[in-house]
Structure 1
């Protein structure tokens, strides 16, 4: 092939490849912003008006702290894929109001935890007075939290499981799942159990579905919950509160 023709062919190939890359990037950007599940207005309003909770809205995350003063234990919580971070405020509010913990709900890049490459300190720095940190997350956010667990004092999974092997660590682990979860099903939770330490605490909440771990409405592909949001929230608060007490 003559050199000029070869250069034209190469330019044509690189042009097509470049166009495909640009199209893929644009497609991901658009997809990440479409269909984001918003927080339910009433539960969120109740949190915003709770005088026991002080809320700070930062570009990196939502900080919920006890109004009574600084807390010594905190939770960095990573939302599930395409779920508004505010959709977890009501579910986690009991940890702040009742157990005097600080909760930082992260704002993942592109609404997807896997695209967020920030380390744990990007979020713990939002509450410098806290000395002991749990990291956890819901669904895909839980998978990401396993990757950050080495920098934390404990790991909490919300309807999620690890893809990272933390079984050889001495990290305290609490796994909260739902019996009616149609996405992170009990079978999937069991299949990934070997990636957690042998003494990890596995708690299946009767009647809870995948979306029961937030307040953002029903989710496609999920099971039908038979437990009320109040009952699920109470169990979450109790279980994590017990873990916090052990860390103090």
Structure 2
């Protein structure tokens, strides 16, 4: 008895081309995803001397969690807290030194978030993801640097918070009728969140928003992570910027 092998369909030249195109598209997509993940994970690192100074400051307690860094005043703690969102691709630890005096001198608990993929816009976690680390705080502000401030403004519209604090940043959504207390701290030499851009977005904030400019500060002055492409040249020292940030926050919360 003879048997006949089952018929095997032959791929046409058109079919082979389709397969090759699909494989090529898949490879490109994989490379794009891998490239994006590598780019997102490469952050502008905090400067070790500045960060170490904050860690060793005996006026505050600093704890690191998977989602955030919590800075707590050891004496004179108030019931006020600030959830601070870093700028895009900036190491969260780069902000410790600039905020440590404000924590100690105003009694404010500061929680610096660790954004997903180091980009605030990808981090859609609710505010209580971070505020749960400080259950003793009853009055919360949200804020951030650069794109972190933009994200903070979006969160303020969704959460029950007392106000917003911008650090070289501005709002992209309208909160002018929100009744929120708002402080904007900017640098005169900021090449990214320029004074002009902040001024153009001022109408999105409540009429009684407080605006403070630090003479000689640039965009990177609000953290300690080195030079940032496209930024202006800072003429103010890190110490001067740190003092001005502390002074502005103290005056804002004393009102």
Report the TM-score when normalising by structure 2: 0.88
* Displacement of 1:99: 1.2
Match in the other structure for 1:149: 156
Counterparts of residues 181-200 of structure 1 (less than 5 Å) = 181-200=190-209
- Matched residues, number: 242
Residue in structure 2 matched with residue 61 of structure 1 by the alignment:
68
- Identify the match of residue 171 of structure 2 among 157, 162, 181: 162
Is 1:217 matched with 2:226? yes
Distance of 2:126 and 2:26 partners within structure 1: 31
Q: Distance in 2 between matches of 1:18 and 1:121?
A: 39
Q: 1:8 to 1:128 in 2, by over 3 A?
A: farther
Q: Which moved more, 1:150-159 or 1:57-66?
A: 150-159
1:68-79 aligned within 5 A:
68=75, 70-79=77-86
Correspondence list, 1:121-136, <5 A: 121-136=128-143
What is the CA distance between 1:201 and its match in structure 2? Answer: 1.1
Matched residue, 1:201:
210
Q: Matches of 1:162 and 1:13 in 2, distance apart?
A: 43
Q: Secondary structure at the match of 1:134?
A: strand
1:112 aligned residue (119, 131, 142): 119
Shift of 1:23: 2.8
Structure 1 vs Structure 2 CA RMSD: 1.9
Q: TM-score, normalised by structure 1?
A: 0.90
The CA deviation at 1:12 is 6.1
CA distance in 2 between counterparts of 1:71 and 1:180 reads: 33
Task: Give the structure 1 partner of residue 99 of structure 2.
Answer: 92
Q: 2:7 maps to what in 1?
A: none
Q: 2:164, 2:183 within 8 Å by CA — same for their partners in 1? A: yes
Structure 2: gaps (5+ residues): 1-10
**Max radius of gyration: which structure?**
2
